[in-house]
Amino acid sequence: MLLVLVALVGCTSSHYRKSADKAAYGVIREKTPLVKNMDAAFSIEQTNALPLGNLPGFTNAVDFFGPEGATERGARILRLEDALGIAIHHSRNYQSRKEQLYLSALALTLARHEYTPIFSAGAKGAYSSEATETPALSDNFVEERKVSSSGSVGTDWLVRDLGRITTAFTTDFLRFVSGDPRLATSSKLSATFVRPLLRNSGFKQEMENLLQAERDLLYDLRDFTQFRKDFSVKIATAYYDVLSNRDAVRNSYLNLQSSRKNADRTRALAQEGRVAGTDLGRQEQQELSAEGTWINAIRSYRQALDNFKIQLGLKVDAHLVLDDRELAALQIHHPDISVDDSTRLALAARLDFMSIKDRLADAERKVLLAQDGLRAAVSLSADASISSGKKERFSMPDDRRYSWSAGLDVDPGLDRTAARNSYRAALIARNKTARTLEEQEDQIKLEVRESWRTLDQAKRSFEISEIGVRLAERRVEEQGLLAEWGRSKAQDQVDAQNALIDSKNQRTKALVTHTIARLQFWNNMGILYIKDNGQWEDLKDVKTR
């Protein structure tokens, strides 16, 4: 027992942490092949080192930010792939979800541990003194001092489909220090076996706890895998939103430049008396309005960029600029798949739908377990032991000094109120889960239909905006030529310029919306595949016919 105590003291907290990690990661690796697209290199370990130093630097000073453009010089250019990689390693939300999955795995290791031999040990010692009256002389007291100790080592083992086995080895030691220095020792080895025969036969309730823990981890793995997909879509959405805001700054600046040019030209014509004063006022108002729009666009961009940094898990003062080439590389890739085919694919591939169907099976199983609780309890129990008897020196138990017993423990369960309520509650829970399954099926169909319509609408919006940009460019060109001859009205020039900026912004917005809608469409169908770095597999051709 002293050696055991020394061994336990020698185990540091670092040892227990490593032991917990080994067990938790082990069960996650064991079940990872059961969930398609689960992160095979799952870990909750984090590093504070950010890979920003490896990113290329921004050397230009763009003119559409005005004097503030110089502040971007030296910033790190962040591609979408780099942003996704940083997010999965440093996002606070992503880390919390990983830790949630880890704790679920840790709970399963404890549930499994209940089915292994669980050892226990204990010891106690005491020194006592007691004054007792001698039988011969009533007023004569004698002090009796003694040293006593006891120790035990035992194990409790719940064996599947067999029963619970409990064993214990105990020893007692007693020495009288004063008076007659007597010594008394004894030791005993005992074992108990219990197996329910009717209610809870085969320890169904205990087995259910382990089975549910196993299935709960599978559900959590599916939830985490789905979270990875949703997370990548959210990061991509935020990334392209920042680039859209940046593009809006560029368009607003071009609008400001054109407005200033038109205003200068109108002022020159006004000095020659070739245009009315109202036209000049309208052009000057347009110039001020364009400048205000540009300033607001810069503010919106800066705010969106700061929010995106926090979403990635970076500091707000991180010096970053997103890669404009990511926006320029976007193209319309429209999936060739019908709504009905999309729905059928989603019902077969969605991880959350798999889990809710499995949860219905759990509810059915719990109904059967509650039914079992309505039966009478009959258990077989057996005890056996051997002992050494009281001796003056320590000795091991003698198999000639044995005892054993076996019998049945019966509880007819005269009061079934609690069991009755549990059974009725299990029936209600099963029915509720069945309704949830029906609702989830309809919800998936709704999500797929909605994302399909959103994707189709984004495609049509982009096509319309493309035409709108060409028409607006032609109008601006025509008004510019007319203005050189002094035949253009100020209102027509302002309208043409505003229409051009609006149509460009709408085109960018439609392109980004279609890209994100396509990702969400794949995600809603359950076919969005996420790689280890958070990037998705590009599914350009999804066809079922």
Q: Work out the average pLDDT over 186-198.
A: 91
Lowest mean pLDDT: which of 173-182, 347-356, 403-412, 435-444?
173-182
In the block, tokens 């006592």 appear at 128
The confidence score (pLDDT) of residue 68 equals 85
Task: Return d(Cα 425, Cα 419) in angstroms, integer.
Answer: 10
Asked whether the predicted pLDDT for residue 543 surpasses 50, the reply is no
CB neighbour list of residue 480: distance below 8 Å, 6 or more residues apart: 488, 493
DSSP class of residue 412? -
**pLDDT greater than 90 at residue 272:** no
Could you report the per-residue pLDDT of 338-360, keeping only the tens digit for each?
Answer: 999 999 999 999 999 999 999 99
Q: Structural domain boundaries of the chain?
A: 56-114+208-370+419-525, 121-159+162-197+380-411
- Top pLDDT among 4 and 29 is at 29
Q: Which of helix, strand or coil describes residue 335? A: coil
Q: How confident is the model at residue 407 (pLDDT cuts 50, 70, 90)?
A: very high
Give percent of the chain with pLDDT exceeding 70: 90
The confidence score (pLDDT) of residue 280 equals 78
pTM of the entire predicted model: 0.85
The pLDDT, as a whole number, for residue 271 is 79
Amino acid 231 reads F
Residue 11 has pLDDT above 90, yes or no: no
Question: What string of DSSP letters covers 84-117?
Answer: HHHHHHH-HHHHHHHHHHHHHHHHHHHHHHTTS-
| pLDDT beyond 50 at 545 | no
Do the Cβ atoms of 120 and 153 come closer than 8 Å? yes
Over range 494-501, report the average pLDDT.
Answer: 78
Instruction: Quote the crossing angle between the two packed helices 339-349 and 417-484, to the nearest 10°.
Output: 140
Give the pLDDT mean for 379-398.
83
Neighbours of 90 (CB within 10 A): 18
**In this predicted structure, what is the pLDDT of residue 166?**
94
For residue 391, the 8-state DSSP code is: B
DSSP H stretches of helix in 313-416: 324-328, 339-349, 351-372
Res 194 pLDDT > 50? yes
Handedness of CA 351, 352, 357, 362 (dihedral sign): positive
pLDDT, position 148: 83
pLDDT at 137: 54
List the one residue out of 4, 206, 16 whose CA is nearest residue 120.
4
Which H/E stretch holds residue 251?
helix 204-271
Q: pLDDT class for 202, splitting at 50, 70, 90?
A: confident
Residue 35, pLDDT > 90, answer: yes
What is the reported pLDDT for 3?
A: 55
Cα first-last separation, the chain: 72
Quick one: tokens of 534?
A: 């958070």
Sheet with 163-176: strands ordered across: 118-133, 141-159, 163-176, 183-196, 377-387, 398-411
Of 12-26, 196-210, 527-541, which has the strongest mean pLDDT? 12-26
pLDDT at 544 over 60: no
Sign of the torsion formed by the C-alpha atoms of 246, 247, 249 and 250:
positive
Average pLDDT of the chain is: 87
CATH architecture of 56-114+208-370+419-525: Up-down Bundle (1.20)
Give the pLDDT confidence score for residue 446 in this predicted structure.
96
Residue 6 has pLDDT above 60, yes or no: no
What pLDDT sits at residue 392? 66
When pLDDT is averaged across residues 481-505 and rounded to a whole number, the result is 75
